Chains A and B, each alone.
Chain A
Amino acid sequence: MASRTADTVIVGGGIIGAATGYYLAKSGHKVVLLERSFPCSGATGRCIGGIRAQFTHDLSIRVMIESIRLFSELNDELGETVHWHQGGYLFLAFDEPRKQAFLEAIKVQRNYGLDVEFISSAECGQIVPGLNREGLLGGAYCPTDGQADPFHVTYGYLAGIKRLGGEVRVDTEVTGINTRDSKVVSVLTSKGDEFFCPNVLNAAGAWSDEICRMAGIEVPIAPDRHESLVTEAVERLFDPMLVDYRSDGCYFVQHIGTGHFVGCYTPVPLVPGRNMDATDEFITEMPRRMVRLVPKLGQVKVLRQWAGSYCMTPDGSPICGRTPVEGLYISSGMSGHGFMFGPALGKLMAELIACGKPSIPLDQFAPDREFGKAEAMK
């Protein structure tokens, strides 16, 4: 068994671990990132790449405004083309209560300087040619929201960690966390290594409850299954991510770099667990919902379907911060928004671990908070 040292050991090679590791390495920390399988093998590599600041929780809005700033500079920061594109997000309102909820959210979002407004049904039709506007009252539209490529962003951060002197180990499972007097001592791996370190960041997504349990801590996360599909590449049809919140709605976007449409829906009822099997129900139901919204997509062919986990928390907001075990941090429970939160939460968690204080206080995401009102734009 080999013993090694690090300033911070990161558990998980998705966007959260990669981004936090990068900003820590940049601040001078010796980072060792451990990934059980391969980078992006969990939720990051299964998400559809949407990025938005349209939330209802104050802190989510603030963190996402920062994340969008970081995304816009990421090509230069990482020396990797991340396919960042500000095509906007358009949340459609098909009934009065939904419209009122969007108008309320827009008030809060505009307080933070977000360029968001409620636009008419006709304006929605201009932004999305071919949109079926039957029953449409309008939509919450924010043109500064966008999309990026989850793989290139994550690989860019991981390459940065290595460039800055850190280590990234794949096929390496964390098998134990040693503590003494409720303080982190070391991390054990399936390869027989032991890393002595003052800090551990649990960025294991849908598996972060198991990692916390190794140190005797419980976190309230509950994964549920979301399915996605991707179509063939076609000519550019429209820019924004379309979000239809009806119980039989869906959301999808056309990727800027490639021209594929990718989309998902939230099943009713939810499908709890880490099961990532694709279903026949989705591959027929999702096309119905997409074609209902934009009929001219009918002839576009579906290439693939797959599934991934939303790592949900009781209030639908992330769990980020210190745990009762000194030196053990968690950044998880992204509730379906890990990729978009990644850059900003990575930077803020790195500030917390390296300096003790993030530049945007993350108290409202703290693991020991009271889980209250749920995020409405989830």
Chain B
Amino acid sequence: MGGKTRRTARKRTAKKVTVVCRCEEVTEDEIRRAIREGHQTLEQIKRKLRTGMGHCQGRGCLRIIAQMVEEETGFPASEQKLPTSRPPLKPLPLDLLARYDGE
């Protein structure tokens, strides 16, 4: 009986959600909706939803999103322009950057 209650509770709270951009917690649904609203390039989706703006800078999600753009619009993922890569490529503490003397 206890088991059944737990299953019911889980059914009520957990939804089937695929998180595509894990740093900024952006879901597949949100991305597909944005594409259908007209945000059809990786640059535009980034600005609308913050995909690729977190710690990994899009390493984890940009290619998946490109594939989703292809599925929604027909524009091949291989021909899509990736957002401009912004330094530093890996997050660095302000202290460390402040001490950098060009060497």
Q: Which residues of A contact B (CB under 8 A)?
A: 38-41, 45, 151, 155, 170, 231-232, 258, 278, 280, 283-284, 287-288, 290-291, 297-306
Cβ of B39 to closest chain A Cβ, rounded Å:
8
Q: How many residues of B are in contact with the other chain, CB < 8 A?
A: 24
Contact string against A for B residues 74-88, beta-carbon threshold 8 Å, 1 for contact and 0 otherwise: 000000000010111
* Contact A301 B86, CB 8 Å, known A38-B43, A45-B47, A232-B55: no
In order of increasing CB-CB distance, the 7 nearest A-B pairs are A298-B95, A301-B91, A304-B86, A287-B94, A287-B97, A287-B98, A288-B98
Q: Which chain A residue shows the least CB distance to B101? A: A284
Chain B's closest residue to A168 (CB) is B38
Number of A-B residue pairs with CB-CB distance less than 8 Å in the complex they form: 70
Asked if residues B92 and A38 are in contact (CB atoms below 8 Å), the reply is no
Partner of B91, one of A151, A170, A302: A302
State whether B43 touches A302 (Cβ < 8 A): no
The chain B residue with its CB closest to the CB of A40 is B47
B44 within 8 A of A: yes
| B residues in contact with A298, CB < 8 Å | 93-95, 98
> B residues touching A (Cβ–Cβ < 8 Å)?
38, 41, 43-44, 47-48, 50, 53-55, 57, 84, 86-88, 91-95, 97-98, 100, 102
How far, in Å, is A295 (CB) from chain B's closest CB? Answer: 9
Interface SS of chain B: loop
Q: Given known contacts A40-B47, A304-B87, what 13 new A-B pairs fall within 8 Å (CB)?
A: A45-B47, A232-B91, A278-B86, A280-B102, A284-B97, A287-B95, A291-B98, A298-B94, A299-B93, A301-B92, A301-B94, A303-B53, A305-B88
Q: Once the chains are docked, how many angstroms separate the CA of A301 from the CA of B84?
A: 20
Least CB distance from A289 to B in Å reads: 8
Q: Which residues on the A side are within 8 Å of B44 (C-beta)?
A: 38-39
Max chain A Cβ within 10 angstroms of own Cβ: one of B54, B94, B95: B94
Query: Among A41, A170, A280, A290, which residue has its beta carbon within 8 angstroms of that of B94?
Result: A290
User: Which chain B positions have C-beta within 8 A of A288?
Assistant: 98
- What residue in chain B is nearest A150 (Cβ atoms)? B47
CA distance A298 to B94 in the complex (A): 5
In this complex, which of B43, B54, B87, B92 has the most chain A Cβ atoms within 10 angstroms of its Cβ? B87
| B-chain residues with CB within 8 Å of residue A299 when the two chains form the complex | 93-95
- In the complex, are the beta carbons of A151 and B48 less than 8 A apart? yes
